[in-house]
């Protein structure tokens, strides 16, 4: 004969086991954050930062040469903004394909975070969205769906569990104006993003501690961003090209722009 207490305890244990399995399944399939630092639903948790991100960045960058302006901008950003942030930061790396934009963006993530997901081996605290793959050849009737499920939802879920994340928007020039408008919410006065799918549907998630890094090739023919163009003029040209493509930039937050390319063929490479 089994007592009611015994049945209740068994049922409770089974329910708890099923809950743990369900949480693990979601984390392995959908998460880019580490399941070991997940807290209860909608309560934020932190992916652990590296002990000394500034020193770690210097060590990671030291073996490489090329793209001196970009490296200097990133190092300055780390010294002034990386540990204490009250508003989201946007770094915009613009230049030709193959000169080190995405590589440097990944180094920023590696300088900040060292823990990796136990199954996928992805770096905790870093989310990379490759717009080339997400936005290429998408029918106009499916753009809104892709925007919600493949761009906004991953960012919202990432920041809900790791507010200090690095969000890499790779090849952002493939994104249309609607995607950029949706992302501008991250930098307005509220510093919030929402999505309309998934567990966090219609929940506002703060972006105030996040670092967004966008890489772009806004001018494939390089007729305006000439190698001889002074740094200040190059930044102004990038701003103009971005405004022509997507409209006015976000009204709040900090945008740090740097040109990649230098002499037109300069590549960030091992020294």
Helices and strands of the chain, counted as H and E runs? 9, 9
More confident residue, 247 or 210: 210
Say what the pLDDT of residue 270 is.
Answer: 55
Domain edges within the chain: 31-270
First and final C-alpha spacing in the chain: 76
SS3 269: strand
Residue 18, Ramachandran bin (φ over 0: left; ψ between -120 and 50: alpha; else beta):
alpha
Query: Collapsing DSSP states into helix, strand and coil, what is residue 89?
Result: strand
pLDDT score of 159: 92
| Residue 46 scores a pLDDT above 70 | no
In the Cβ-directed half-sphere of 55, how many Cα atoms lie within 13 Å?
A: 4
Greater pLDDT, 172 or 248 = 172
Count Cα atoms within 13 angstroms, Cβ side, for 181.
6
List Cβ neighbours of 247 (8 Å cut-off, separation of 6 or more): 177, 180, 181
List, for residues 24-38, the tens digit of each pLDDT value: 333 322 345 555 444
The string of DSSP codes covering 192-230 is EE--SSSTTTT--EE-TT-EEEEEE-S-TT-SSS-TTS-
Does the pLDDT value for residue 20 go beyond 50?
Answer: no
Architecture in CATH for domain 31-270: 3-Layer(aba) Sandwich (3.40)
Cα–Cα distance, 35 to 24 (Å, whole number)? 7
- For the segment 151-174, what is each residue's pLDDT rounded down to a tens digit? 999 999 999 988 889 999 999 999
pLDDT, the chain, mean: 76
pLDDT by residue (tens digit) across 133-147? Answer: 888 888 888 888 888
């Amino acid at each position: 004969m089994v007592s009611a207490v015994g049945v209740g305890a068994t049922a409770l244990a089974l329910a708890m086991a099923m809950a743990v399995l369900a949480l693990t399944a979601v984390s392995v399939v959908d998460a880019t954050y580490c399941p070991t630092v997940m807290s209860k639903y909608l309560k934020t948790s932190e992916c652990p930062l590296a002990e000394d991100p500034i020193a770690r960045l210097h060590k990671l960058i030291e073996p490489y040469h090329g793209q001196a302006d970009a490296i200097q901008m990133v190092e300055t950003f780390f010294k002034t903004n990386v540990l204490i942030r009250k508003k989201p930061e946007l770094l915009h790396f613009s230049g030709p394909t193959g000169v080190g934009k995405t590589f440097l963006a990944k180094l920023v993530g590696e300088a900040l975070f060292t823990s990796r997901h136990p199954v996928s081996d992805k770096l905790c605290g870093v989310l990379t969205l490759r717009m080339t793959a997400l936005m290429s050849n998408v029918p106009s009737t499916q753009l809104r769906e892709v925007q919600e499920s493949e761009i906004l939802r991953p960012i919202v879920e990432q920041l809900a569990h790791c507010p200090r994340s690095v969000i890499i928007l790779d090849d952002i020039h493939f994104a249309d104006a609607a995607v950029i408008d949706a992302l501008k919410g991250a930098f307005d006065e509220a510093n919030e993003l929402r999505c309309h799918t998934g567990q966090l549907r219609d929940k506002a998630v703060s972006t105030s501690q996040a670092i967004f890094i966008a890489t772009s090739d806004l001018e494939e023919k390089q007729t305006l961003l000439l190698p001889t163009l002074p740094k200040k003029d190059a930044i102004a040209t990038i701003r103009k090209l971005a405004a022509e493509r997507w409209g006015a930039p976000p009204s709040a937050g900090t945008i740090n722009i740097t040109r990649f390319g230098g002499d037109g063929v300069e590549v960030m490479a091992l020294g």
